[in-house]
Structure 1
Amino acid sequence: MNLIKKPSLSFWQIFNMNVGFLGIQYSFGLQQTAINPIFLYLGAPEDMLPILNIAGPVTGLIVQPIIGAMSDKTWSPRWGRRKPYFLIGAIIGSLCLFAFPTSPVLWFAVGLLWILDVGNNMAMEPYRAFVGDKLPEKQLSLGYQMQSLFVGAGILLANGSIVLFQYLFGGDSIEVAGEIPKWLYYSFYIGGILSITTILWSVLKTPEIPPSEGELSEIQRNRSLSFGRRIAKPFEEIAEAIKEMPSFMWKLGAVYLFQWYALFVYWQYITPLFKATLGYSTSEAASQSAQMSLTYNIVTMVVALALVPLTLKYGGKKIYAYSLIGTGLALFSIPFIKDPILVLAPMVLFGIGWAAMMGIPYTMVSKVVPQERRGVYMGILNMMIVIPMGIETLSFGPIYKYLLGGSAINAMLFAGAFFIIAALLALRLNVSKEINDDL
């Protein structure tokens, strides 16, 4: 392990370092809430929505580990190691967000989604490594939980802006086939501004730590390679990193398989669930789903930093596992609550779980991977997210139809059970043992 001495940072230095995550997560919030309605406005059949969203898992699977490997071998005294990548990614994302609501036809919007996902993933992965690069081990929990706070804040602002602008400007508008409502433009314009300004804030406020002499020598050797070898090098780095991956990450991959599979089931079937349990129309059910999202992201913002002292006292493994259990219990309870206000209560547990999921695993991984490969391993960690997404996309349709009787209630219970399995697997994670074995 690389034991470079890193200075402790103040709370506000850590805050400034993570501000850029707000813009990235605002963009992801729009993707969760507004992209599919735009596809529908432009004439997409409902049964085509899953395939039209395939950009997310494909770009996440390819872009993040490649960018991670490239950033590990990058250094500029002026621009740094990770910052050039998430700055370029933010610029790409910002341009796409400004253009998205003016999409004239469906194929144009789908193409923009692919480019937007490339930009977001290009910004996301080096950002995870950036925090690990800067912070000493005792501050890693605070750094990644700060990112978790901005995850909740970004998605909350995205969803809240859509609700607000629809209320202010959408009430009297008439939907026209093939046209995107004008009130939806504003949320995307805000996202385009946030994407670049928040990243610039972090870039300008936070200097990167220069690489060690050994790392710098490796970077120089990489620069001396031929163009073809430099293109092939990231792929070789990914393959080698997977081959030598710490056993801790293989165990975390098993947790992620069940955790992220369950999350995708929840996001896909929460709207159909409310049609079944509350007798809502599609629009009413979608509105209720948006309120659920707003609720749990508010909770995430509130509790993200509160998890830091808990993880320091009781250990990340226990807090992570208990949070997953709480999320599973939340999903078990939702189908049996018939009041639209009371059904928001389980989102407290879900929000705590979401805060833990977005912070604690990254803290643990940063402690067990070598500094010189932090970028590529953070990219591989994201592969562990998008692979369950692909598996769920391909497998859950038949499971839903033939094993769960086409019932959204059963789908939610199924997701709850998967969270409990993930929690049990999380109890196998042992960071201290991994570090000792490595030393």
Structure 2
Amino acid sequence: MKITKPSLSFWQIFNMNVGFLGIQYSFGLQQTAINPIFLYLGAPEDMLPILNIAGPVTGLIVQPIIGAMSDKTWSARWGRRKPYFLIGAILGSLCLFAFPTSPVLWFAVGLLWILDVGNNMAMEPYRAFVGDKLPEKQLSLGYQMQSLFVGAGILLANGSIVLFQYLFGGESVEVAGTIPTWLYYSFYIGAILSITTILYSVLKTPEIPPSSMELEEINAAKSKPLMERIMFPFKEIAESIKRMPKFMWRVGAVYLFQWYALFIYWQYTTPLFKLTMGYTTGEAASQSAQMSLTYNVVTMLVALALVPLTLKFGGKKVYALSLFGTAVSLFSIPFITDPIMVLVPMVLFGIGWAAMMGIPYTMVSKVVPQDRRGVYMGILNMMIVIPMGIETLTFGPIYKYVLGNNAINAMLFAGAFFAISGMLALRLNVRSKAKVIDL
């Protein structure tokens, strides 16, 4: 039986997405501050990809499993998705408090693994949460609102890094094996935001109860023997992949190049600015933070503006054009040595980031069945982390032996991959949900 969902007001959609702010603040720190911390603790540049393998591995394992579990969860008090992103937020907060005090490299790498588990536990149910609550006509607004909070969270994270480096960094000389104290404050803010913003959305937004048929399936799953219950998420993931619509396979092709390129960008902006601008690690990290600050301001400004554009021209065209624009931005960055002018390409990057964080989720949510939205959002995340995992395993040798340990070449490589992803995005045609359900 199809559940008719009431339309929500702008502020109701806003409130349900506030929790994404804390999740994305943490993600912003991972983009900009984690790799400089690894460098502070003595990591060689060609080891950065493999040290970041926690994200792809935990995302590959945690998100689809949590998605499948949340599909078959219901509590009258806590709901369906909320228990998972509450636990994830608590775990993430604890790791963010501990991260800047890491005494040695292996300790920081270990904390990154735990932090990624927490963030992934919170992230996937949140994507499904929006799809659960909104009617199809409001899905674009719901996911672009998430895109707005993606920009806001990362903006705050990187803004805090720039601010605290300016206020407390001074002209201090870098000490090998030591993390500067001005980095601590950004992590402490993130730890507080991670839990408080999630709690805000949990308290402000009730979940829609499952239908009688869904509730019957949930209760049946609970009554099964323990081993069957443990194996259920894995069977559900395998079955869902087997029945997955062709549209999602095409999204996977786009994501292969898009996310491989994004991981290169996040890992190699600091080495790039050390090379092109002669910066120290701290100065390069601050410049990287300013880049992220700029493109996330743009993301915030254009995220909701993309809603009428996608309705008028179609998500495929807007998405593909944004990927081509991102490619142009990465091609230009290595050839700009002025620290102010290098922020200009971030306008195109910010538009691309807004589209990447909203449009694919809107399209996928329209073609997957309601009762499997959690697991399919988890599978969509697998399509993100698999190319990131491939990047962590392959790009280190590529960087060292093919690109000559040259961060300029790394950025151009990423730009080429974005151009390929834009061409593949032109193949994304959304089909009716009815056909998908009958697969």
Query: When the two structures are superposed, what TM-score results if normalisation uses the length of structure 2?
Result: 0.94
Task: Name 1:114's counterpart in structure 2.
Answer: 113
The 2-side partners of 1:41 and 1:186 are apart by 17
CA offsets 1:239-292 (integer angstroms, 9 cap, x no match): 001001111100100000011111122223333333444454544443332221
Task: Name 2:31's counterpart in structure 1.
Answer: 32
The 2-side partners of 1:208 and 1:114 are apart by 30
Contact 2:294 2:347 in 1 (8 A): yes
Task: Name 1:318's counterpart in structure 2.
Answer: 317
Residue 148 to residue 285, structure 1, CA distance change in 2 (3 Å): same
Task: Name 2:421's counterpart in structure 1.
Answer: 422
The 2-side partners of 1:417 and 1:105 are apart by 36
Contact 1:149 1:300 in 2 (8 A): yes
Which is worse superposed, 385-394 or 366-375?
385-394
Alpha-carbon offset, residue 112 of structure 1: 2.0
1:238-257 equivalences in 2 (<5 Å): 238-257=237-256
Alpha-carbon offset, residue 423 of structure 1: 1.2
Contact 2:254 2:425 in 1 (8 A): yes
- The answer to whether 1:209 aligns with 2:221 is no
SS in 1 for 2:144: helix
Which is worse superposed, 260-269 or 297-306?
260-269
Contact 1:6 1:136 in 2 (8 A): yes
Task: Name 1:391's counterpart in structure 2.
Answer: 390
1:8-407 equivalences in 2 (<5 Å): 8-171=7-170, 176-407=175-406
Alpha-carbon offset, residue 77 of structure 1: 0.7
Residue 422 to residue 434, structure 1, CA distance change in 2 (3 Å): farther
Alpha-carbon offset, residue 97 of structure 1: 1.4
Alpha-carbon offset, residue 96 of structure 1: 1.6
Contact 2:35 2:267 in 1 (8 A): no
What amino acid sits opposite 1:158 in the alignment? A
Contact 1:248 1:434 in 2 (8 A): no
Which is worse superposed, 266-275 or 384-393?
266-275
Which is worse superposed, 333-342 or 136-145?
333-342
CA offsets 1:200-252 (integer angstroms, 9 cap, x no match): 00000000000111111110110001111100000000000100111110010
CA offsets 1:305-347 (integer angstroms, 9 cap, x no match): 1101111111111111111111112122223334332221111
Residue 224 to residue 113, structure 1, CA distance change in 2 (3 Å): same
The 1-side partners of 2:212 and 2:164 are apart by 53
The 1-side partners of 2:368 and 2:181 are apart by 47
Residue 269 to residue 311, structure 1, CA distance change in 2 (3 Å): same
CA offsets 1:18-66 (integer angstroms, 9 cap, x no match): 0000000111111222223333444445554433322111111100000
Residue 248 to residue 72, structure 1, CA distance change in 2 (3 Å): same
Residue 232 to residue 395, structure 1, CA distance change in 2 (3 Å): same
Residue 347 to residue 72, structure 1, CA distance change in 2 (3 Å): same
Which is worse superposed, 171-180 or 136-145?
171-180
The 2-side partners of 1:393 and 1:39 are apart by 15
Alpha-carbon offset, residue 399 of structure 1: 3.3
The 1-side partners of 2:296 and 2:82 are apart by 27
Which is worse superposed, 173-182 or 392-401?
173-182
Contact 1:249 1:365 in 2 (8 A): yes
Residue 58 to residue 330, structure 1, CA distance change in 2 (3 Å): same
SS in 1 for 2:244: coil
Alpha-carbon offset, residue 150 of structure 1: 0.7
Alpha-carbon offset, residue 381 of structure 1: 0.6
What amino acid sits opposite 2:265 in the alignment? Y
Alpha-carbon offset, residue 402 of structure 1: 4.4
The 2-side partners of 1:413 and 1:173 are apart by 33
What amino acid sits opposite 1:19 in the alignment? V
Runs of at least 5 residues in structure 1 that lack an aligned partner in the other structure = none
Q: Percent identity?
A: 85
What amino acid sits opposite 1:125 in the alignment? E
What amino acid sits opposite 2:394 in the alignment? S
Which is worse superposed, 92-101 or 47-56?
47-56
The 1-side partners of 2:377 and 2:97 are apart by 29
The 1-side partners of 2:337 and 2:45 are apart by 27
CA offsets 1:58-92 (integer angstroms, 9 cap, x no match): 11110000000000000001100000100111111
What amino acid sits opposite 1:379 in the alignment? G
Alpha-carbon offset, residue 420 of structure 1: 1.7
Runs of at least 5 residues in structure 2 that lack an aligned partner in the other structure = none
Residue 276 to residue 116, structure 1, CA distance change in 2 (3 Å): closer
Residue 336 to residue 184, structure 1, CA distance change in 2 (3 Å): closer
Contact 1:246 1:434 in 2 (8 A): no
What amino acid sits opposite 1:169 in the alignment? F
SS in 2 for 1:59: helix
The 2-side partners of 1:127 and 1:376 are apart by 12
| Matched length | 438
Residue 181 to residue 268, structure 1, CA distance change in 2 (3 Å): closer
What amino acid sits opposite 2:355 in the alignment? A
